[in-house]
Structure 1
Amino acid sequence: KIQAIHDAGITGEGVTIAVLDAGLSPDVATLQGADIEVRQLDQCPDPITRAEDGFEALKHGTSATSLIVGNGTSASGSGPVGLAPGSRVLYYGVLQESCEVKSIAAALDDAVAQGADIVSMSGGYGRLADELSEGTVDSVAAALRAGVMIVTALPNSDSTSIPELMTVNGVVNVAAVDGAAQPATQRDGSSMTNADVDVVAPGIDVAGLGWDGTWGMSAWSGTSASTPVVAGLLALAKEKWPGATSSQLLQSLIRNTGSEPHELEWSDTIGHGVVNATRLLEEDPAQYPDENPLFKDGQAPTFDEVYSAPESSAPDAADAQNGTGPGALPWVLAGGGAVVVVVAVTLIVVIRTRRGHGGMGGDDVA
């Protein structure tokens, strides 16, 4: 019932979403009229000047962004409709080949400085469970302290490496369901389970761009698709309930899943349940505790480190210079292919601005 929500005037207007992804093709018809600002990271490739790499480098980020601010058109006619087409997007190409884990912290820090309300990251740096970057934890803590909601994709299959943000406290970990609200499965048909799943959202055969080698509308699947859906819904809720805190909005997100009211519950297949736009917008978040509900024992940062400690400084520059922390594992696009990590990223140096109007248009696990 997203169209009815848009028709009622709730489009994410006034909300800023930072999208952390790979390449982007902002000139496609689907993104014309969208308010997109590309934030360039030092020593990270410009995400919109990689046309020579074609659809493979651009389809993931373009599809994810289209699920937030897409205008419903494509090169083939109909296209992805964004969940929050009135929102502003800050785009960070941190999942490109020459970027590494420190670019995530740099992007988070800049997103906070630029006034982002929500972060959507459909992938991340593949790491082992015990190799979480301290810089990432510090930047997440600072973002949460600033009231930013962070939404990230879980892996699409069992793996020895995990996305950088998966076990970081306070973020929304998203898995995928199909059109019948059935959870995604492993390639062998077995259940997809994860101890860190918070919610699930549509992510199987979702409208995308570039997956068939054209900028017409095509289907794609995976948690990479379900993550921007959740980010878009939070943008709608933030516009509808401007007086609610980010913690109250997250409380509402996990309590108003499914089609009927229910007690708070959780499972390792669907987390707290399937997100529901109608119920999320109908229920006043002020009735819920002003406390982020997504903290687990044994994970960093702790609740007190985020909400009780004084504001911390930016990640240690010396740490960024000496390259401490994991740096040998590849990027993963939430279950997609991997590319080699080459150069650390620490500074924001260039700003690209919004694109104009115009008209253009996935089956793959992303």
Structure 2
Amino acid sequence: KIQAIHDAGITGEGVTIAVLDGALNPDVPTLRGADIEGRHLDGCPDPGLGAEVFEASSHGTSVTSLVVGNGTSEIGAGPVGIAPGARILYYGVLQDACDVNSVAAALDDAVDQGADIVTVSGGYGRLTDEFSQETVDSVSAALRDGVLVVAGLPNRGTATDFELMTMNGVVNVASVDAQAEPAKDYGGSDMRNEDVDVVAPGVDVAGLGWDGSWGMSTWSGNSAATPIVAGLLALAKEKWPDATASQLLQSLIRNTGSEPHELQWSSRLGHGVVNATRLLEEDPAQYPDENPLFKDGQAPTLDEVYSTPEPSESEAPGAQANAGPGGLPWTLAGGGAVVVVVAVILIVVIRRRRGDVADAES
């Protein structure tokens, strides 16, 4: 019922979403009229590759279209964005040539630029004990500033994790099909993940570039489900502007499925299938102002994010009086998006680090 929500005037207007992905074709008909600002960071090439580089830019262009697409494409109909009124800050930090700490740099810049939501459909594959402290610090700063961080989970089990998927406070997203059944792994079994928070449509959804044109084609994977969740949070933020980020997360995980229910969780569906109508109907102010997505043994801790820092010596009471004359009182997730279009399979490498690949298949 997204169209009915848009018709009622809720489009994500006034909300800023930072998209962290690979390359982008900003000139496709689907993105005409969208408010998109490309952010160029040191250590990363310009993400705008142009019209003919389908293999590199289909992923990022499809992700962005699921947030702010206008419903058209080169051949007529195209992806309709969940939050077409939102402002997009685009970071091409999952390109091969980007510096290893580009995700942290993008998070920091997004916070500085006023982002309300960050969505990442992929990332670096690393062992948990190799995660960058810089990224932990950047996630902590974003959460502390009230920024919602949404990240796609890998489409298959690996020995490594995406850099954000085991970070506390982050919304980890997996995908379901049109019957609300979990996406399947390569063996045909339901995908399961101990870190999944919510699931969203991610099988045979509208995309661009997967068939070698900028007409609408279909693709699948957690990469597709992730921007849908980010878009829904943008709609909720517009509808309930006084709600805190933590209250919006509480509402997201409590108002899943088609009927009211007690808070629940499983490795198949997380807290359930996101529901746009229920998310917008329920006032988030009824829920605790506490981020519900923290686990013991994961970083950052609640204290690292939300505790008031100890005052420095210069800020301590009486410090100014004692200072003297000169004294002066901070891969693509679905990484691998599993994409099936006309039974043709193409592996799209969005990011490779330490031999781990975030791949998309079309």
* CA distance in structure 1 between the aligned counterparts of 2:254 and 2:280, rounded to whole angstroms: 12
Long gaps (5+) in structure 1: 313-330, 343-363
- For 2:39, the equivalent position in structure 1 comes to 39
Kindly report which structure 2 residues correspond to 1:182-197, keeping only aligned pairs within 5 A, or say none: 182-197=181-196
How far the C-alpha of 1:268 sits from its partner, in A, is 0.6
> What is the aligned length?
326
User: Larger C-alpha radius of gyration, 1 or 2?
Assistant: 2
- For 2:241, the equivalent position in structure 1 comes to 242
2:336 pairs with 1:335: yes
Please say if residues 103 and 135 of structure 2, whose CA atoms lie closer than 8 Å, have aligned partners that are also in contact. Answer: yes
- For 2:288, the equivalent position in structure 1 comes to 289
- For 2:19, the equivalent position in structure 1 comes to 19
What's the Cα RMSD here? 1.6
**1:106 to 1:179, Cα distance in 2 relative to 1, 3 A:** same
After TM superposition, the score normalised by the length of structure 1 is 0.86
- Hey, which bits of structure 1, 4+ residues long, moved more than 3 A? 49-52, 336-342
Percent identity of the aligned residues?
Answer: 73
State the SS of the aligned residue for 1:219.
strand
**1:108 to 1:38, Cα distance in 2 relative to 1, 3 A:** same
State the SS of the aligned residue for 1:232.
helix
Judge which range, 134-143 or 42-51, deviates more.
42-51
State the SS of the aligned residue for 1:64.
helix
Which residue identity does 1:38 align to in structure 2? G
- For 2:325, the equivalent position in structure 1 comes to none
- For 2:316, the equivalent position in structure 1 comes to none
**1:51 to 1:311, Cα distance in 2 relative to 1, 3 A:** farther
* CA distance in structure 1 between the aligned counterparts of 2:159 and 2:219, rounded to whole angstroms: 24
* CA distance in structure 2 between the aligned counterparts of 1:51 and 1:84, rounded to whole angstroms: 24
How far the C-alpha of 1:100 sits from its partner, in A, is 3.5
Please say if residues 142 and 311 of structure 1, whose CA atoms lie closer than 8 Å, have aligned partners that are also in contact. Answer: no
- For 2:270, the equivalent position in structure 1 comes to 271
* CA distance in structure 2 between the aligned counterparts of 1:217 and 1:310, rounded to whole angstroms: 50
Higher RCO (CA 8 Å, separation ≥ 6 residues): 1
State the SS of the aligned residue for 1:6.
helix
How far the C-alpha of 1:74 sits from its partner, in A, is 0.2
Deviations 1:261-293 (A, max 9, x none): 000000011000000000000000000000000
Judge which range, 123-132 or 280-289, deviates more.
123-132
* CA distance in structure 2 between the aligned counterparts of 1:29 and 1:50, rounded to whole angstroms: 13
Long gaps (5+) in structure 2: 312-330, 338-347, 355-359
State the SS of the aligned residue for 1:19.
strand
Please say if residues 223 and 332 of structure 2, whose CA atoms lie closer than 8 Å, have aligned partners that are also in contact. Answer: no
* CA distance in structure 1 between the aligned counterparts of 2:28 and 2:303, rounded to whole angstroms: 44
Please say if residues 92 and 107 of structure 1, whose CA atoms lie closer than 8 Å, have aligned partners that are also in contact. Answer: yes
How far the C-alpha of 1:132 sits from its partner, in A, is 1.1
2:30 pairs with 1:30: yes
State the SS of the aligned residue for 1:270.
coil
Deviations 1:104-134 (A, max 9, x none): 0100000000000000000001111221110
Please say if residues 168 and 298 of structure 2, whose CA atoms lie closer than 8 Å, have aligned partners that are also in contact. Answer: yes
Which residue identity does 1:246 align to in structure 2? A
Kindly report which structure 2 residues correspond to 1:86-105, keeping only aligned pairs within 5 A, or say none: 86-105=85-104
Please say if residues 23 and 50 of structure 1, whose CA atoms lie closer than 8 Å, have aligned partners that are also in contact. Answer: no
Kindly report which structure 2 residues correspond to 1:1-366, keeping only aligned pairs within 5 A, or say none: 1-49=1-49, 54-310=53-309, 332=332, 334-336=335-337, 337-338=348-349, 339-341=351-353, 365=361
* CA distance in structure 2 between the aligned counterparts of 1:332 and 1:31, rounded to whole angstroms: 21
* CA distance in structure 2 between the aligned counterparts of 1:158 and 1:341, rounded to whole angstroms: 17
* CA distance in structure 2 between the aligned counterparts of 1:58 and 1:83, rounded to whole angstroms: 20
How far the C-alpha of 1:51 sits from its partner, in A, is 5.5
